[in-house]
A and B are shown apart, each in its own frame.
Chain A
Amino acid sequence: MARHVHSGRFLSKSAFLGVHLLIAVCLAAVGPLAAGAREKDEHFGLPEVKFINDQVAAGWSDAKLKPSEPASDQEWCRRVHLDIIGRVPTVRELDDYVADSSPVKRANLVGRLLGDDYVDEYARNWADVWTTVLVGRSLDNDNVNRSGMRQWLRRSFSKNVPYDRFVSDLVTATGVNKSGEKGFNGATNFLSGKLEDNGIQATAKTAQVFLGLQVQCTQCHNHPFNKGKQNQFWEFNAFFRQVRALRKFEGTRDVQAIELVDEDWAGEGGNAAQAELYYELRNGQMKVAYPVFIDGTTVDSTGYLPAKMDDGTEYGVNRRQALAQLIVDSPLMPKAAVNRIWSHFFGYGFTRPIDDLGEHNAPSHPELLDGLGERFRGQSFDTKELIRWITLSHAYSLSSRIGKGNATDDPAVGEKPKFSHFYLRQMRPEELYQSLLTATEADQAEEKGEKAARKKDEWLSQFIIAFGTDEGDEATTFNGSIPQVLMMFNGDLVKTATGTGKGGFLDRVATSDMTNAQRIDSLYAAALARKPTRKEIKLANQMMVARKGDAISALQDIWWAVLNSNEFIINH
């Protein structure tokens, strides 16, 4: 047990045995019950869940893996709250779930989290996820209005807009990107910052996010490792040539808002009836490109938007609308969506990276990926249904504790994921932020909606590093490194969460009519969704003694330690 950070004091054999013994007792108590519930209804009457279970299990038997035991009720409850609504459960939510004796309690909870009671939180969480996917986390892009983006996303997710319409709305959006302006359409923010340089970024990002195709390299040359060809990049790019970003300035410098409009495009050759663009091969030769989808489907090369001639004849094409239809009809679209959403829940998708579904990048579970994609389409792209199938799967119910039978299943070392145990992953910063509000019951007092979101953005900006390239590449130091730990140790967010002010969370715990033991229990439940161990209780009691009966100060110390632990920040 040589771990270099731990002094001998904690490595005493008896202490360790004590912990293990306690866990063993807990497992013995919970085990049969959880297993029994599972046996009664393995897939909750949902054929899609059965499909996932069968496919994942086939992978286990191929690789001779023995899946981990089921997660405890508390662990599963914490996990599903974090993943669906982006925060840890409250003590009440946790107690309710544990107390529920229904054999389909998991299905009930998922149903609730996807239902009306949680619609705002669901929308907030998925708006956060998709804001990052669509426009990144950096705040200093004048051409993107994050609030506008987020408002649109929140609305889409609160109405559970089918995924095909969601994609189509983003790809074809026209209107003003800033809320409060006339003609506001927040969806325009996906493209508003990506249209410079003839829409190179719009091309690359649209292909990447919605089709799982990495085409950015083929802008300049045929791809050396896959089938991507330079002409495909520019033929895809041709779909973005009718759209223009009109900047509205405030004063002389600051962009106040951007309006996306579609206009007739005369092409680089000046002939709108056959509007073409040119690109340069590496040898300097110029080539021409018209709109062609990645599967070879061509679209009328006219640059005119749809209109009617005097005699009533219709002509013209809206290229972005044509593109949206081709994307939605493509078998790649549901696969890309399923892969992204699966990886949200499991930490890994079927491919790495998740937005590279090219032929050179074989997925870990090809039939499962294809089959889920088809079923997603069959379900009219109902994202909530897809989430229900995934969260009710056997794989999602497994413990993160690794056994002898599945120690080799470790994607962190580069193996293809087999999903035979739950993979640890750190909370996203947005999840941490929201969880701290929830755990300290500060969310009720917190501003709602966009005001709260902007506060979160500001907090988040301390972790964002922009690389200063044209493509807006960025990284985060919210990655388990020292700046993150310092923030958790000493940052304002945690200072507030551990504050002892009147009426605050700790004050309420300290002045409630609970016993000290119950107070400590409630802190552990709120942050870790479990009871403290005997050793932890002993340490907590020592803390009480050290603070000479100043209960709130002792609680503050305990609370600080709990919030700073690996167990809190890691979704397990």
Chain B
Amino acid sequence: MSASSRFIDGMSRRHFMSHVAGAAALAAPATAFTNSILANAADLKKRHKSAILLWMGGGPSTMDIWDLKPGAATGGPFKPISTSADGIQICEHMPLMAQQMHHMSLVRSMSTREADHMRGRYYMHTGYVPNPNVEHPSYGAVIAHELADQVPDLEIPPFVSVGSGSVGPGFLGMSWAPFVVDSNGNVRNLDMGIDPTRLSQRLEMLSAIEEKFIGEKRGASSDDHAKVLSKTVKLMTSDQMESFKVMKEPKDVQDRYGNTGFGRGCLMARRLVEQGVPFVEVDLGGWDNHADIFKTLSDNKLPELDKAMAALVSDLSERGLLDDTAIIWMGEFSRTPNINGNAGRDHWARSWSVAVGGAGFKRGVVVGETSSDGKEVVTEPYSAQDLMASVLKSLDISLETTFTAKNGRPMKIANAGKVIKELFA
């Protein structure tokens, strides 16, 4: 942190803390911060694991991206091209990613059953099918929960979602909820504009009311509210909020990621991972291509994806972050091999692909295979929970971890999915 950093009416952070620290219960995290700045900078540089989920909302047609079937009746017009990874071919409209494929691996044998958007979204994010009686935690909540200890000095939320809302923290509680920002990194309502002494007095009053209500034992949501309040105070006073300011990157860097929401989101993901955020999800929607799919992909979706994803992978690699950062590319499902009457493809979950890379993943390999028309997985099929277990393993998170759901039932992490062995050396 720079000594010149200032906020709230030009008052320095440290000065602010001296006001807040002694005052209110809600300022406890702020006190922790005051202590933490005394820790030396080397500590902040300590290695930490992170994961970035590139979420393709709507269900992208993976046989037009990662698993092409040229010549098949179902294959569509796109041609495969060779890549920097031996033996891996991907779509011709992904030329920049083609140069990065030695950092990534493909699983072409995903086979799931949820072909409804909301159900598929939930299932792929949590490893569980929706259940009216339990809300399961999503990737971001699980990984943030498991990795937050590695970054004790992190003041911004450990689970950031750029653009989409992701899926919530379920039974892990609202403190692990995604912090949703737009792709410009704007966080609304950050500035209170009053002097810190007054803020601390307000917080003291507020914490008395919170405490009373919690003490009346009316249910968990009153506690949750207080927890989120304290996180908010921490964040409002943190210089780490700078890492959201993607517009502060040099112009040529911004250009490399592309002047798109997804491009800025990927660039922000890199900045956040550098800051220590354990989990970032970046959303790219618009894959629900029931009509006119090929033109949409070649002219629009794929160039946007290609540019941003390739820039992210190569940046992480060049900065030495890739070995500690898992990348997951997926949507809620894929699209029908059969091309419908509107030159589109409909929902399809039975046979599809995801891309992973970084962290402990083996790079440049293809796992599994689909039939020549793309309609069946012909090797061992993998599920959402298998993928999730593999991602957790790549981050050295123990698969023996068991959570306790709110109803007291034990819940094995990643729904006891089995690791996809071929993704590991």
Q: Do A and B bind each other?
A: yes
Binding site for B on A (CB under 8 A): 1, 3-7, 9-10, 16, 19-20, 23, 197, 216-217, 220-221, 224, 284, 351-353, 356, 361, 400-402, 410, 412-415, 423-426, 462, 465, 467-471, 473, 475-477, 479-483, 485-487, 489-491, 528, 533, 535-536, 539-540, 542-543, 546, 557-558, 560-562, 564-567, 569-570, 572
Contacts of A479 in B (CB 8 A): 168, 174, 177
Interface bits B194-216 vs A (CB < 8 Å: 1, else 0): 00011001111111111111111
For residue A22, which residue of chain B has the nearest CB? B212
For residue B180, which residue of chain A has the nearest CB? A477
Binding site for A on B (CB under 8 A): 24-28, 57-58, 113, 115-119, 121, 132-134, 157, 164-165, 168, 171, 174, 177-180, 187-193, 197-198, 201-232, 235-236, 285-286, 288, 290, 338, 346-347, 405-408
CB distance from B283 to the nearest CB of A (A): 8
Contacts of A425 in B (CB 8 A): 221
Complexed CA–CA distance, A227 and B289 (Å): 29
Complexed CA–CA distance, A75 and B15 (Å): 42
CB distance from A557 to the nearest CB of B (A): 5
B229 touches A487 (CB 8 A): no
Contacts of A480 in B (CB 8 A): 174, 177, 221, 224-225, 228
Contacts of A539 in B (CB 8 A): 204-205, 208
Complexed CA–CA distance, A557 and B194 (Å): 11
Complexed CA–CA distance, A223 and B217 (Å): 42
A467-B121 contact in complex given A480-B221, A481-B179, A565-B206, C-beta closer than 8 Å: yes
Complexed CA–CA distance, A542 and B198 (Å): 12
Contacts of B28 in A (CB 8 A): 4-7
For residue A554, which residue of chain B has the nearest CB? B201
For residue A411, which residue of chain B has the nearest CB? B133
A470 touches B288 (CB 8 A): yes
A557-B231 contact in complex given A424-B221, A566-B214, A567-B209, C-beta closer than 8 Å: no
A401-B218 contact in complex given A413-B405, A489-B192, C-beta closer than 8 Å: yes
Contacts of A558 in B (CB 8 A): 205
Contacts of A216 in B (CB 8 A): 116
Could you list 7 further interchain pairs (A-B, Cβ under 8 angstroms) beyond the known A10-B207, A569-B225?
A217-B116, A224-B113, A284-B338, A353-B132, A413-B406, A485-B232, A566-B209
Closest 7 CB pairs of A and B: A468-B285, A413-B406, A414-B133, A561-B205, A352-B132, A566-B225, A565-B209
For residue A6, which residue of chain B has the nearest CB? B25
Contacts of A469 in B (CB 8 A): 57-58, 117, 285, 288
B191 touches A490 (CB 8 A): yes
Complexed CA–CA distance, A543 and B228 (Å): 25
Contacts of B288 in A (CB 8 A): 468-470
Contact with A3, one of B171, B214, B219 (Cβ below 8 angstroms)? B214
A477 touches B165 (CB 8 A): yes
A565-B210 contact in complex given A5-B229, A220-B115, A539-B204, C-beta closer than 8 Å: yes
CB distance from A241 to the nearest CB of B (A): 16
Complexed CA–CA distance, A6 and B222 (Å): 13
Contacts of A23 in B (CB 8 A): 216
Contact with A217, one of B25, B115, B177, B228 (Cβ below 8 angstroms)? B115
For residue A200, which residue of chain B has the nearest CB? B290
Complexed CA–CA distance, A535 and B286 (Å): 54
A10 touches B208 (CB 8 A): yes
A465-B164 contact in complex given A414-B406, A414-B407, C-beta closer than 8 Å: yes
Contacts of A476 in B (CB 8 A): 165
A414 touches B116 (CB 8 A): no
Contacts of A412 in B (CB 8 A): 219-221, 406
A401 touches B209 (CB 8 A): no
Contacts of B204 in A (CB 8 A): 539
Contacts of B164 in A (CB 8 A): 465, 467
B209 touches A536 (CB 8 A): yes
Complexed CA–CA distance, A557 and B221 (Å): 24
Complexed CA–CA distance, A353 and B231 (Å): 31
Contacts of B198 in A (CB 8 A): 557
B215 touches A16 (CB 8 A): yes
Contact with A426, one of B24, B190, B221, B407 (Cβ below 8 angstroms)? B221
Contacts of A533 in B (CB 8 A): 212
Contacts of A351 in B (CB 8 A): 132
Contact with B216, one of A221, A353, A401, A426 (Cβ below 8 angstroms)? A401
A490 touches B190 (CB 8 A): yes
Contacts of A220 in B (CB 8 A): 115, 346-347
B208 touches A401 (CB 8 A): no
Contacts of A572 in B (CB 8 A): 218
Contacts of B221 in A (CB 8 A): 412, 424-426, 480, 566, 570
Q: Can you pick out 9 interface pairs between chain A and chain B where the beta carbons lie within 8 Å of each other?
A: A1-B215, A6-B207, A10-B208, A20-B215, A468-B288, A469-B117, A567-B212, A570-B225, A572-B218
CB distance from B292 to the nearest CB of A (A): 13
B165 touches A475 (CB 8 A): yes
B232 touches A424 (CB 8 A): no
Complexed CA–CA distance, A351 and B225 (Å): 26
Complexed CA–CA distance, A16 and B211 (Å): 9
B286 touches A468 (CB 8 A): yes
A482 touches B228 (CB 8 A): yes
